[in-house]
A and B are shown apart, each in its own frame.
Chain A
């Protein structure tokens, strides 16, 4: 996915690679400093030889970190001062421009030269944040959900006819296409053709695509068409996949049963990485309720992100002073993911992965989403081929559902966020303050993450509840917490303090905690209400 600092979409970089290629080549050969203002800052900026003179700079022969413009007289001088560029001589007024990032550049002879992405042009006004066809970066980001994609396709009046055609094709498929077992690849071929043909029709009729000089709008369109088609035929297609992949799904379900109650340590996760991962579990639990491949894949990706974030927070909380936290690598990520899969009770994991492998055509297999799919595939293979039954012997405590500790951690996220955002220092907040040995900046990041995480969880939970009331498909991971436990947790005040570093509360704390479930910020009790 494109981030707006990606040079591929940068008008100045693109000009260097086309119109001014010879100047760029010369600058590379002479190993000049190339300053590239970020895309958003280049709206309405006229990129000409003068602009190039100022932004391709030669190192000063006299002074380190000083660079001189490449106009005839070398009239301008800048200084690279750590994370800033200072414009000094020759500029209408002295300025200080932030360096956003550096890209490694090598010339034809593989000699390095510097390319700095900077906040704005060294000279000239900045008018606003717009893409090349006048579309904002937000607009040029692929939509995730089915409805968003449907809305997106309906946005362009010139594409109305195509939308109609597409609806007709989908209708025909749903009504007339007969699925024969064993011919899943044929269905994929058929649907892929529908997507590609209609995407082509969209692109030809659309007014903006011609104006947008980079491929982002086209990418958004591809995602939208695929999501619309696949979301609309999902019920029919996924049923066929599930029927065919049923043996695999059943095998995995059995293995997931074996995995109940097994801990990260037992699966060989390094001790420091073992912690409850409620946000990841909640995220993954919604997989069966999603109907488009793109959103499913995004869900897998955010599950992995949540694992990483939750482990990072855990590591920072338990960090000995003077040590920097370790990084989570695939060797530990994989078994943690196995645990998350078992807790999220993915009933159709094999079907879902097959669906993503064969019915999703728009994203690269190399990128972060591709990596997520491969990691899940690896975890699934590991689950299928490993016998977990012997691991249980060490552990008598069998977890029926998401454990209390994990829910504690989930509500810890919630309370952490609430008290942080409300601004007054509640007891919970004070405990957080006291117990955290991390730098203020990381506390900030932590709370931002917690806020994000809470919002995501709320979102997910409400969506899960919605979808579980519509379809019989997904099973709520909180299913086990209705009935008895709800009675036990009659209305009462929320717990005063939830220890930040303790994930194994005593039984005695249970009452208070469960009470919190009733009156906590989620404003609904966990589990289905019958």
Chain B
């Protein structure tokens, strides 16, 4: 799953959340480079990249924004394929956005099983007074599906780095497990390359 380069690991992380939950601000806040203005102007929010160092290992996060509107529902699997992690964002003042998160979790689980590390972000904690999703419910739900729950605010820059660090940690852990059992997994996934390379070439094709 996770591609390794000489220096470390590459992970694909999909970002899910309804339009108004602030998922874009959240991730933009995370990847911004305060030392380089140019970075911001060339920014597009649909594909972002962040590099970390964890215990001397380089971790490269490719963060994919996913079309989340209902009408694009059928396209989800095209985006999720081969992802190592997912961040599901809801707005704590909007209960519907939390319900939507639940349906994505189901879909991701159905498609990728436990191969994907999940984070659920309750965003906009700066609007705590208007909260409509109870902390206890959200945390209990996250625990029940093996996801980690985080309280975030893009506005106050709270909880974001912690969330990505935790996700990276878990993705690293699961790759280490993977590496140990890679031979059994290779056949499980559509790892076309490995299977095909083993085959003997047919010389000259069909002629």
Residue ranges of A at the interface with B (Cβ–Cβ < 8 Å): 6-8, 17, 21, 24-25, 28, 83, 99-108, 110, 112, 115, 172, 176-180, 183, 186-187, 189-190, 193, 214-215, 268, 304-305, 308, 327-331, 333-334, 364-368, 370-371, 374-375, 377-378, 381-382, 385, 441-442, 445
Complex CA gap A104/B51 in Å reads: 7
* B74 close to A381 (CB less than 8 A): yes
Given A190-B201, A331-B19; A104-B206 close (CB under 8 Å): no
Residue of B nearest to A2 (CB): B5
Closest to A24 in B: B56
Residues of B within 8 A of A304 (CB): 44, 46
Smallest CB gap from A180: residue in B: B206
Lowest 5 A-B CB distances belong to which pairs?
A327-B45, A8-B7, A105-B53, A308-B44, A330-B67
Contact of B68 with A by CB under 8 A: yes
B10-49 residues with Cβ-Cβ distance < 8 A to A are: 10-12, 19, 23-24, 28, 33-37, 39, 41, 43-47, 49
Q: Bound complex: CA of A333 vs CA of B207, how far in Å?
A: 46
Partner of A190, one of B6, B43, B205: B205
Q: Which of A110, A180, A442 interacts with B169 by CB under 8 Å?
A: A110
Which residues of B pack against A, CB within 8 Å? 3, 5-8, 10-12, 19, 23-24, 28, 33-37, 39, 41, 43-47, 49-56, 58, 62, 64-69, 71-72, 74-75, 78-79, 81-82, 161, 165, 169, 196, 199, 201-202, 204-207
A86 to B186, CA, bound (A): 52
* Contact between chains at A104 and B52 (CB < 8 Å): yes
Name the B residues within 8 Å of A377 (CB-CB). Answer: 78
Task: Kindly state the separation between the CA atoms of A215 and B8 in the bound complex, as whole angstroms.
Answer: 13
* B37 CB contacts on chain A under 8 angstroms: 441
A118 nearest CB neighbor, chain B only: B35
Smallest CB–CB gap between B109 and chain A, Å? 21
Contact, CB under 8 Å: B78 / A327: no
Give complex CA distance A101, B54 in Å.
17
Residues of B within 8 A of A328 (CB): 44-46
Other A-B contacts than A177-B207, A329-B65, A366-B11, 20 sampled, CB-CB below 8 A, are A8-B8, A25-B56, A101-B36, A102-B33, A104-B52, A106-B52, A178-B206, A179-B205, A183-B206, A214-B6, A305-B44, A328-B44, A329-B24, A331-B19, A331-B68, A331-B69, A367-B10, A368-B62, A371-B62, A382-B72
Determine whether the beta carbon of B56 is less than 8 Å from that of A28: yes
Instruction: List A contacts of B201 (CB < 8 A).
Output: 189-190, 193
Chain A residue contacts of B58, Cβ below 8 A:
7-8
23 CB < 8 A contacts A-B: A8-B5, A25-B56, A28-B56, A83-B35, A103-B51, A104-B53, A106-B54, A107-B55, A179-B206, A180-B206, A183-B206, A189-B196, A215-B6, A327-B24, A327-B28, A330-B67, A330-B68, A331-B67, A333-B67, A368-B49, A371-B64, A378-B79, A381-B74
A102 and B66 contacting across the interface, CB-CB below 8 Å: no
**Do the beta carbons of A364 and B3 come within 8 Å of each other?**
yes
Among A24, A187, A365, the one with the most B-chain Cβ atoms within 10 Å of its Cβ is A365
Report the minimal beta-carbon distance from A198 to chain B, rounded to whole angstroms. 14
> Judging by beta carbons under 8 Å apart, are B36 and A442 in contact?
no
Q: Would B75 and A366 count as touching, CB distance under 8 A?
A: no
Which residues on the B side are within 8 Å of A176 (C-beta)? Answer: 204, 207
In angstroms, Cα B7 to Cα A100, docked, is 21
Q: How far is the CA of A374 from the CA of B78 in the complex (A)?
A: 7
Closest chain A residue, CB of each to CB of B203: A190
Which residues of B are found within 8 Å of A370, using beta-carbon distances? 62
A371-B62, A371-B64 as given contacts; A103 in contact with B52, CB under 8 Å: yes
A contact residues around B54 at 8 Å (CB)? 105-106, 110
Cα(A106)–Cα(B56), bound, Å = 8
Considering only CB atoms, which chain B residue lies closest to A117 in the complex?
B35
Assess the A17–B45 pair: CB atoms within 8 A: no
Give the complex CA separation of A295 and B10 in angstroms.
Answer: 24
Q: Which residues of B contact A375 (CB under 8 A)?
A: 46
In the complex, A99→B37 CA distance in Å?
12
- Chain B residue at minimum C-beta to C-beta distance from A386: B71
Chain A proximity of B21: nearest CB distance (Å): 11
The CA of A477 and the CA of B47, in the complex, are separated in Å by: 29
A445-B28 Cα distance, complex, nearest whole Å: 20
Shortest distance between the CB of B85 and any CB in chain A (Å)? 12
- What residues of chain A lie closer than 8 Å to B82, measured between beta carbons? 365-366
Say how far A439's CB is from chain B's closest CB, in angstroms: 11
A101-B53 CB under 8 A given contacts A8-B6, A329-B46? no
Q: How far is the CA of A106 from the CA of B53 in the complex (A)?
A: 6
A268 to B123 alpha-carbon distance, docked (Å): 25
Give chain A nearest CB distance to B8 CB in angstroms: 8
CA distance A183 to B202 in the complex (A): 13
A106 near B35: Cβ-Cβ < 8 Å: no
Minimum CB–CB distance for B57 against chain A, Å: 9
Give the interface centre of B37, B41, B53, B199 by most chain A CB atoms within 10 Å.
B53
Please state if A378 and B33 are interface contacts (CB–CB under 8 Å). no
Looking across the interface, which residue of chain A has its beta carbon closest to that of B164? Answer: A104
- A residues in contact with B23, CB < 8 Å: 329
Contacts of A112 in B (CB 8 A): 161
| Residue contact A186 to B205, C-beta cutoff 8 Å | yes
Complex contact A110–B165 (CB within 8 A): yes
The residues of B that contact A178 with a CB separation of less than 8 Å are 205-207
A334: chain B residues within 8 A (beta carbon):
67, 72, 75
CB nearest to B67 among chain A residues: A330
Whether B44 contacts A366 by the Cβ 8 Å rule is no
A364 to B10, CA, bound (A): 10
The residue of chain A having its C-beta at the shortest distance from the C-beta of B46 within the complex is: A330
A382 and B78 CA atoms in complex are apart in Å by: 11
Known: A214-B6, A330-B65, A331-B72. A102 touches B35 (CB 8 A): yes
**In the complex, chain B residues whose CB is within 8 Å of the CB of A382:** 72, 75
CB contacts (< 8 Å) of B49 on chain A: these are 367-368
Q: Name the B residues within 8 Å of A330 (CB-CB).
A: 46, 65-68, 79
